[in-house]
Amino acid sequence: MELSKDSLSHWLDIWLKTYIAHSVKPYTVDSYTRICERHIKPALGRITLDQLESLSIQQFYNALLVEKGLSAKTIKNIHGVLHRALEQAVKLRMLRFNPTELCELPKVTKKEIKPLEEEEVVRFLDAIRGHKFELLYLVTLFTGMRQGEVLGLTWDCVDFDTCTIHVKQQLQKTQKVGGVYTLVSTKNSMSRYVVVAPTVMELLKTQKARQQQFQQQAGLAWDNPWDLVFTNERGRYLCHVTVYKYFKAVVRELGLDEERFHDLRHSYALISLESGDDIKTVQSNLGHATSSFTLDVYGHISQRMKQQSADRMEQYIQGIHEKQSQTDNSIAS
């Protein structure tokens, strides 16, 4: 087999255009392209495929960590793009094997998730009372939807009769800067039906009435072609950064500076688990592909759940002691 003498840079261009552009979400295309242009091409682009070695790639990764100061997670993402591109080259027999397979990646340290505890939830609910995004934040907290999913929720996906929300899409921006917003499939391209609490449906009814008022006031200026549930006063979609900015202002006032918008989703998961939902139900409601992933993410347990576990064990121990005492008394008599 004669190996390809194309440069890595040239192959990446072909790969992005032929195998990526029409197979993944627009945001992912932009992300892959940025990684190739900013990182891979400047360092390795001139090397031909037949001369590309694991050692060179390993040195590239090391330099990203030590000299560029990139995080382990970012390097893992860069590796993922390069690995996928070279894997396609192997399939086309342009390479004998994928040289990234022999590379060692820096260990990614998982960020500690910070769901709101019950007392913090109460304070948060008080803080957002009357806030312009109060209903949006409440629906997010009590359904566990991702930010893009709740911003991309449309009225045809809300069934008031069955208290069900069909989560099938998300609002996503094609690029971080200068991109356009569009509706795309969910993160893992799997839709799901979530049966929600009646209170959530009441919140959505309130939002519908509020939106109808906006529409009347806007008149001909009303513009909601996707029929989104959450919009501004003119019917336009809400930008992720705007919703996030206002959320951060609220939690900072509460002294919860490290809370992220995504932690509302984590809070929903914790509330569900503490309320007695089984892991399979939580997995389904969150839209995780497997229950093992859900367990991995929420393997931590809140202090209250730990105390409840200890209390149950104490009840068991005391029950055993009581039976022992009854047995001893029976023998003595």
- What percentage of the chain exceeds 90 in pLDDT? 73
And the tokens for 141?
Answer: 């907290």
Asked if residue 152 and residue 87 are part of one domain, the reply reads no
Instruction: List C-alpha distances in Å: 75 to 15, 34, 54, 111, 235.
Output: 20, 13, 15, 16, 40
And the tokens for 6?
Answer: 């194309």
CA angle 279, 282, 287 (to 5 degrees): 125
Asked if residue 268 and residue 135 are part of one domain, the reply reads yes
Q: Does residue 315 belong to any structural domain of this protein?
A: no
Asked if residue 143 and residue 276 are part of one domain, the reply reads yes
And the tokens for 196?
Answer: 């929600």
Q: Does residue 333 belong to any structural domain of this protein?
A: no
Asked if residue 150 and residue 22 are part of one domain, the reply reads no
The CATH number of residue 153's host domain is 1.10.443.10
Asked if residue 183 and residue 64 are part of one domain, the reply reads no
**pLDDT at 302 (0 to 100):** 59
* Structural domain that includes position 74: 8-102
pLDDT at residue 303 above 80?
Answer: no
Asked if residue 220 and residue 132 are part of one domain, the reply reads yes
Q: Which residues on adjacent β-strands are paired with residue 167?
A: 192
Q: Does residue 314 belong to any structural domain of this protein?
A: no
pLDDT at residue 275 above 50?
Answer: yes
Cα gap 224→80, rounded to integer Å: 37
Q: Does residue 64 belong to any structural domain of this protein?
A: yes
SS3 207: helix
pLDDT at residue 239 above 60?
Answer: yes
Residue with the larger pLDDT of the pair 277 and 206: 206
Cα gap 49→218, rounded to integer Å: 58
Cα 111 to the center of its chain, rounded Å: 13
Asked if residue 136 and residue 80 are part of one domain, the reply reads no
**pLDDT at 249 (0 to 100):** 97
CA angle 286, 289, 294 (to 5 degrees): 60
Cα 141 to the center of its chain, rounded Å: 14
Q: Does residue 194 belong to any structural domain of this protein?
A: yes
For 160-195, b/e burial (b = at least 16 CB within 10 A) is eeebebebbbbbbbbeeeeeebbbbebeeeeebebe
The CATH number of residue 38's host domain is 1.10.150.130
Q: Which residues on adjacent β-strands are paired with residue 159?
A: 164
Asked if residue 170 and residue 132 are part of one domain, the reply reads yes
And the tokens for 14?
Answer: 């072909």
Asked if residue 275 and residue 135 are part of one domain, the reply reads yes
pLDDT at residue 3 above 60?
Answer: no
pLDDT at residue 307 above 70?
Answer: yes
SS3 14: helix
As for how many domains the chain has, the answer is 2
* Mean pLDDT, rounded, for 280-287: 92
- The beta-carbon contacts of 257-263 under 8 Å, at least 24 apart in sequence, are 258/114, 259/114, 259/116, 260/114, 261/140, 261/147, 262/146, 262/147, 263/113, 263/114, 263/115, 263/116
Cα gap 104→318, rounded to integer Å: 52
For residue range 153-203, list pLDDT tens digits in order: 999 999 999 999 999 999 998 776 667 899 999 988 889 999 999 999 999
Indicate the range of 150-159, 249-258, 281-290, 307-316 predicted with least confidence.
307-316
For residue range 104-133, list pLDDT tens digits in order: 999 988 777 888 988 999 999 999 999 999
Reported confidence tier of residue 299, pLDDT bands at 50, 70, 90: low
| Listed residues 71, 102, 133: the one ending a domain | 102
**pLDDT at 1 (0 to 100):** 46
| Listed residues 75, 102, 129: the one ending a domain | 102
| Listed residues 55, 73, 102: the one ending a domain | 102
Asked if residue 132 and residue 203 are part of one domain, the reply reads yes
- What percentage of the chain exceeds 70 in pLDDT? 95
Q: Does residue 307 belong to any structural domain of this protein?
A: no
Q: Does residue 170 belong to any structural domain of this protein?
A: yes
**pLDDT at 300 (0 to 100):** 64
Asked if residue 275 and residue 169 are part of one domain, the reply reads yes
Q: Does residue 165 belong to any structural domain of this protein?
A: yes
Q: What order of strands is seen across the sheet that includes strand 164-167?
A: 158-159, 164-167, 192-195
Asked if residue 251 and residue 166 are part of one domain, the reply reads yes
For residue range 34-84, list pLDDT tens digits in order: 999 999 999 999 999 999 999 999 999 999 999 999 999 999 999 999 999
